[in-house]
Amino acid sequence: MIAFTDIVGMDLAKQALMLLAVDPALGGVVIPSAVGSGKSTLARAFADILPEGTPFVELPLNVTEDRLIGGVDLEATLASGVRVVQHGVLTKAHGGVLYVDSLSLLDSSAVSHIMDAMSRGEVLVEREGLSEVHPAKFMLVGTYDPSDGEVRMGLLDRIGIIVPFTAQNDFRARKKIVTTVLGTRDSEDTEDELRMLRGLIGAAREQLRHVSITSEQVQALIQTALSLGVEGNRVDIFTVRAALASAALAQRTDVEEEDMKLAIKLILIPRATRMPEREAEADEMPPQEEPPPQEEPEAEDEEAPADTPDSDAEADEEQKDTPDMIEELMMDAIETELPDNILNISLASKKKAKSGSRGEALNNRRGRFVRAQPGEMKSGKVALIPTLISAAPWQETRRRDKKMAGRPKTALIISKDDVKIKRFRDKSGTLFIFMVDASGSMALNRMRQAKGAVASLLQNAYVHRDQVALISFRGKQAQVLLPPSQSVDRAKRELDVLPTGGGTPLASALYLGWETAKQARTKGISQIMFVLITDGRGNIGLQAAFDPDAVKPSKEDLEKEIEALSGSICADGIAAIVVDTQMNYLSRGEAPKLAQKLGGRYFYLPNAKAEQIVEAALSF
């Protein structure tokens, strides 16, 4: 076991954990970091600096609902004849730490329960005839590898601190683990250091109530949140708390600039949806065009959270009023510690984009077993043990029943009502990847109808609990406008502002779609369908995406590229439909050919109604 003080590097993460130790009301700390960076070692070492006896509970990823929130302990109940309650993991963590490794892989229903417990400070158990409230105030410490996917935004919203993700930290951390493992340190030193740190935190906890913050400082923090486009108002409370905790750690009674910087770094910047300087550029462009999609794919995402155009405009106004002091403070916080801040910002917006990606559904046949519930024997797999358990209480009464007379005494009498079937949780069926051609030639075609068709498909996809992703292609390369998500609203918004013009990088679109499909597969989504809305006239090669000066490939080369890609996509079992947007008299039959190569179906948009396309897509 490596102690907290033995860990070299990951300074920001350590600072974050110390703030949390001082003020548990910060909710928790999330540490995104690559594999082998020592993040989980650090998280586990967190217990070292907490007062002795603080619970530290590690949440297994495959936790079932009843383990998580508690329920009837059936074994004990049957044995004792009175109802026995088993507390869940969340309650066991009460007053202490709930640690989740690989937070982004946690099942969505588990995430919902954790969110609920965090917002109430307790767990409501309303299940299996049990109605109870158990205390569950805990600090959530989560670590995850961003390449595994992102953590749901709703959960992050309740966790105060998000340690910015930097590659640098990882490197240093790795080095330190080696030195520690080699045993270069004296265990007595370690023990002393830990004792000191615990003392420091104890003192800071005392100090906390004596620290004050001025209204101007609060205002400055809020201004910063506004200029960074952070969603929600809860975050203000976290930011102020973090600044106070930082001052308390320094045994001060007043919040100073460095406290505010630390709070901005750990709370606001990781949630930023825009960088202040960029906004100025965007202002000069016509609203339809901004933000330029190629240069900043993440900028597309940041528009989404604001529900109305006004709210954004208002935010911009606010921002112009931002006093220099705040601006400086913020830029300072961004620059000093985070050389690769762009990475962080894109992390935040990626999180947002994926927040809807819970393509999970409960079903009776496949996936992971979640719970047993009453049902018809034919409608699913019978959960034997729960069935027997639900039959058990009735044996006495049923035996007294005359109809049952003559049965051997030892026979169990099971009635239809006892039957429990298994419910499984599974990633839901299909991911629709829409690839919308936004090249110059589309202006001639029927962009409006195309958008209409996509929108109705989206509506349908939602009803079927499917997921959608949106890729547009124009200019040099394709880009993902919306990663797999269930949010139809977002997809629509993206479509609404989709600009057109430039070349047709069809190959790039196919490639990107294929990549997206592969990623989805690793997350358990098995059925994938491409919906291509295009005239099929690709004129930009794959190479152009990586090398702007690439020589324009010949028509044959382009065709070969498409053919190879299509072949691979088809071989991967990805279904496709091609919606041809070209007017008859202009067509040279490119789109039907594309459909053929992909082994998919072909539709001619000017004739096809949106509903027909929907039907075709769903009939697969």
**Token duo for residue 535:** 């005239």
Q: In terms of CB distance, is 6 or 128 closer to other proteins?
A: 128
Stretches 10-18, 110-118, 252-260, 581-589: which one binds other proteins (CB under 8 A)? 110-118
Give the contact letters, 223-262, x = binds to other proteins (CB under 8 A), - = no.
x--x----xxxxxxx--x----------------------
Is the Cβ of residue 353 or residue 575 nearer to other proteins in the bound state? Answer: 353
| Closest distance to other proteins from the beta carbon of 321 (Å) | 9
Site for other proteins in 4-33 (CB under 8 A): 25
Enumerate residues 446-475 that contact other proteins by CB under 8 A.
448, 451-452, 454-456, 458-459, 462-463
| 467-474: strand order across its sheet | 477-485, 467-474, 430-437, 527-534, 575-580, 601-604
| Beta carbon nearer to other proteins, 159 or 197 | 159
C-beta of residue 352 within 8 angstroms of C-beta of residue 300: no
Using CB under 8 A as the binding rule, the residues of this chain from 168 to 197 that contact other proteins are: none
* Contact present, 469 and 503 (Cβ < 8 Å): no
- Give the DSSP letter string of 118-161: HHHTEEEEEETTEEEEEE---EEEEEE-GGG----HHHHHHS-E
Task: Report 385-424 residues binding other proteins (CB under 8 A).
Answer: 393-394, 396-397, 415, 417
The count of chain residues that interact with other proteins, using the rule CB under 8 A, is 102
Interface residue with other proteins among 381, 492, 521, 523 (CB under 8 A) is 492
Which one, 153 or 598, has the nearer CB to other proteins?
Answer: 153
Which range of residues in 26-34, 113-121, 334-342, 517-525 is near other proteins by CB under 8 A?
Answer: 113-121
Rounded to whole angstroms, how far apart are CA atoms 601 and 235? 48
- Contact, 578 vs 437, CB < 8 A? no
Q: Is the backbone peptide bond immediately before 484 cis, with ω within 30 degrees of 0?
A: no
Rounded to 5 degrees, φ, ψ at 204 are: -65, -35
State yes or no: residue 327 binds other proteins (CB under 8 A).
Answer: no
If you write DSSP's letter for every residue of 18-35 in order, what string do you get?
A: HHHHH-GGG-EEEEE--T
- Structure tokens belonging to residue 382: 């019978």
Site for other proteins in 33-72 (CB under 8 A): 65, 67-69, 72
Residues 517 and 572: their CA atoms lie apart, in Å, by 9
Report 507-546 residues binding other proteins (CB under 8 A).
none
Length of the chain: 620
Q: For residue 375, what are its two tokens?
A: 């049902």
Identify the residue among 14, 39, 44, 87 touching other proteins (CB under 8 A). 87
**Which of 191, 307, 328, 572: binder of other proteins (CB under 8 A)?**
307
Please state the closest distance from residue 562 (CB atom) to other proteins, in A: 30
Of residues 184, 215, 584, 607, which one binds other proteins by CB under 8 A? 215
Q: What is the DSSP letter of 51?
A: P
Residue with smaller CB distance to other proteins, 235 or 562: 235
Of the pair 73, 258, the CB lying nearest other proteins is at: 73
Using CA atoms, how far apart are residues 99 and 45, in angstroms rounded to an integer? 11
Residue 315: CB minimum distance to other proteins, A:
6
Is 604 a binding residue for other proteins by CB under 8 A? The answer is no
Name every residue whose Cβ is closer than 8 Å to that of residue 92 and which is 6 or more positions away in sequence: 55, 57
| Three-state secondary structure call for residue 387 | helix
The correct pick among 11, 54, 86, 592 for binding other proteins (CB under 8 A) is: 86
CA distance 588 to 597: 16
Q: What angle do CA 404, 406, 411 make, to 5 degrees?
A: 70
Q: How far is the CB of 279 from other proteins (least distance, A)?
A: 14
Query: Could you say which residues in the range 346-375 bind other proteins, by CB under 8 A?
Result: 352, 355-356, 358, 361-362, 371, 373-374
Q: Exposed/middle/buried for 433, CB within 10 Å: 0-12, 13-18, 19+?
A: buried
Cα–Cα distances in angstroms (integers) from residue 341 to residues 33, 149, 321, 575, in the given order: 15, 19, 24, 39
Using the contact rule CB under 8 A, the part of the chain among 185-193, 301-309, 556-564, 594-602 near other proteins is 301-309
Residue 180 CB, shortest distance to other proteins, in Å, is 30
Q: State the nearest-atom distance from the C-beta of 33 to other proteins, in Å.
A: 24
Q: Does 442 bind other proteins (CB under 8 A)?
A: no
Q: Looking at beta carbons only, is 54 or 363 nearer to other proteins?
A: 363
Tell which positions 134-173 bind other proteins, by CB under 8 A: 135, 152-154, 157
Among positions 50, 228, 471, 488, the unique one binding other proteins when judged by CB under 8 A: 488
- How many CA atoms, within 13 angstroms, populate the side-chain half-sphere of residue 102? 10
Which of 18, 20, 103, 115 forms a contact with other proteins (CB under 8 A)?
A: 115
Q: Which one among 51, 83, 175, 615 touches other proteins, defined by CB under 8 A?
A: 83
- C-beta closer to other proteins: residue 354 or 474: 354
C-alpha distance from residue 596 to each of 53, 58, 456, 574, 602 (Å): 67, 52, 25, 13, 8
